Copies of this chain bind each other. A is one copy, B any other.
Amino acid sequence: MQQESVIEIEEIATVLKLLGDKTRLTMVKLLDSHDCCVCEFVEMFKTSQPAISQHVRKLKDKGIVKESRRGQWIIYSLNKESEYYPFLKNVLKSLPDQGYRLDELEKQGLRISCCD
């Protein structure tokens, strides 16, 4: 059985602060089922590309997400090696599925471009 190390309450508070933003929380919930690139988030959240980049950077700085380049795109995914991952999964399971957002992109033909 895997031993889950105890995380300080202060550390958890900083993770919760990151999740306490509608955009980032939705991003993370989406990433729990599909990897996404920045351009998809931009379409989805109807906000600017720099705004999205800054959100994902915060998540990356805390080790919650990781990136991998695929050509000109950068694909973000949940970092399953993070010490926060088990905690994160536990939070995410209470959230309503956000897959419909990807479905909407698909309908507009905005998903095929980079990620499949």
Contacts and interface: CB of A to CB of B under 8 A. Distances in A.
Interface of A: 6-10, 12-22, 25-26, 29, 86-87, 90-91, 94-96, 98
A24 B12 CA distance: 12
Contacts of A95: 9, 12
A interface majority secondary structure: helix
Tell me the number of copies of this protein: 2
Contacts of A18: 20
A94 B26 contact: no
Contact of A9 (B8, B17, B22, B86): B22
Contacts of A15: 20
Central interface residue in A14, A18, A87, A95, by most chain B CB within 10 Å? A95
